[in-house]
Structure 1
Amino acid sequence: MISEKANEIFDKAIQDYHVHDQIDRPIINPYPPDSLERLLYLKCWIDTVQWHMEDEVRRPDIDPVEGLRWKRRIDQSNQDRTDTVEDIDDYFVRQFAGVIPEKTARINTESVAWAIDRLSILALKIFHMQQQTQRTDAAPAHISACRSKLAILEEQRSDLSQSIDELLEDIQAGRKYMKVYKQMKMYNDPALNPVLYTASK
């Protein structure tokens, strides 16, 4: 099952990051080039780094200049995240290139890779919520609330994992078909963001 493999890789990426817990530490991707596993590891590593960037930018005493620097890094990270999701979708487009959809086949509301994107974020939420349940400096009510939230997150991961596997089965059987739209983000593109292209004149 793809979801089982993805969840294992996401958990590994998160654990690997937290060995050093440094935003700027270079990624060491253990999987072969051009493999789905490599893309999944990269995807979750980007998400994990960005999670910690989002923490930094919310420091109440942050200098505005420093805050803007983090905001721009987060913007770039979002672009890298989107590019990687699209690479994962391209992988599945190639995988299912020979499948002939049934006449009654339907398109899904989101692509396989964007569903996998949500699975990666859930892995991060579960990891950090688990950390909250282990705090020794928090009140019992906080620990109890976090345990309840953790149970919900784990249920969400189980449900989403099943949905992803079922979607892939449907595509393989021709009951659904893949149609991928690029995100076409405009704010990072100097040819599409009016603030950027007017400033260059």
Structure 2
Amino acid sequence: MFSKKANAIFKDAINTYKSKEEVEQKCSNPFNKKEDLISFILFEKCWIDATQWAYEDIIRNPTINAEDALVLKRKIDTSNQVRTNTVEHVDRYFLNKYKDISVSKEAKINSESPAWAIDRLSILALKIYHMHLETVREDASKTHKENCSQKLTILLDQRTDLSAAIDDLLQDIALGKKYMKVYKQMKMYNDAELNPVLRASKQ
């Protein structure tokens, strides 16, 4: 099943990223883009998410100075755009993979594309990783650990459900029971022609 492969790649990406105590790292992707495109993209995707998770932690420091916070906010904005581009790359992969499938007349469209469901699976992998750390934190109270253990159980259950939903969706697309129709995010605030503030700054 696809989700089993994706979950394994996400786990590997997180563990590789966390093996160094550095927020900004060059992605150590073990996959060859030409030989295994989807694995390569999935690893990159989770690496982006892991880096942004670290950014989001840092920017919430109540003592961070305004200048550093602004620099970090710009990095988060850039990371968000790269994340969106990567998700759309995943959808292009599936569009190409299933382009020759004969779609049933009764076929329906899903509420979200495969890639955006996979995006949630990547984020979920990070939640599970960090919640597990809280269950074994030596300086945490017993109550804290118990609460986090309960949350971890829910997250693991959520991953099981989401993984099954993704596999079902991909199978339905492969059988022509559902079809893909991808809408690009068309984010406007990063576009100098669409964001009025950026447009004015160029004048």
What TM-score range do you get, normalising by the shorter chain? Answer: over 0.9
Q: Which residue of 2 aligns with 1:184?
A: 186
Pairwise CA distance, 1:89: 0.2
1:13-47 Cα offsets, whole Å, 9 max, x none, are: 00000110312121121101141000000000000
Letter of the 1:164 counterpart? I
Q: Which residue of 2 aligns with 1:125?
A: 127
Aligned mate of 2:137, from 135, 138, 142: 135
Pairwise CA distance, 1:97: 0.3
Q: Which residue of 2 aligns with 1:18?
A: 18
Letter of the 1:64 counterpart? A
* Structure 2 CA distance for aligned equivalents of residues 187 and 66 of structure 1: 21
Structure 2: stretches of 5+ with no match in the other structure: none
Letter of the 2:13 counterpart? A
RMSD: 0.6
Which moved further from structure 2: 25-34 or 136-145? Answer: 25-34
Aligned partners of 2:16 and 2:28 also within 8 Å: no
* Structure 2 CA distance for aligned equivalents of residues 28 and 160 of structure 1: 27
* Structure 1 CA distance for aligned equivalents of residues 32 and 141 of structure 2: 45
Letter of the 1:155 counterpart? D
Which moved further from structure 2: 27-36 or 99-108? Answer: 27-36
Q: Which residue of 1 aligns with 2:94?
A: 92
Letter of the 2:180 counterpart? M
**Normalising by structure 1, what TM-score?**
0.99
Aligned partners of 2:48 and 2:79 also within 8 Å: yes
Q: How does 1:1-201 map to 2 (within 5 A)?
A: 1-34=1-34, 35-201=37-203
* Structure 2 CA distance for aligned equivalents of residues 25 and 99 of structure 1: 40
Pairwise CA distance, 1:199: 1.1
* Structure 2 CA distance for aligned equivalents of residues 11 and 95 of structure 1: 25
* Structure 2 CA distance for aligned equivalents of residues 29 and 17 of structure 1: 10
Identity within the alignment, %: 52
Letter of the 1:132 counterpart? E
* Structure 1 CA distance for aligned equivalents of residues 141 and 33 of structure 2: 46
Runs of 4+ that moved beyond 2 A: none
**Normalising by structure 2, what TM-score?**
0.98
* Structure 2 CA distance for aligned equivalents of residues 21 and 13 of structure 1: 14
Letter of the 2:51 counterpart? V
* Structure 1 CA distance for aligned equivalents of residues 24 and 153 of structure 2: 32
* Structure 2 CA distance for aligned equivalents of residues 197 and 164 of structure 1: 40
SS in 1 for 2:189: coil
* Structure 2 CA distance for aligned equivalents of residues 19 and 28 of structure 1: 11
SS in 1 for 2:19: helix
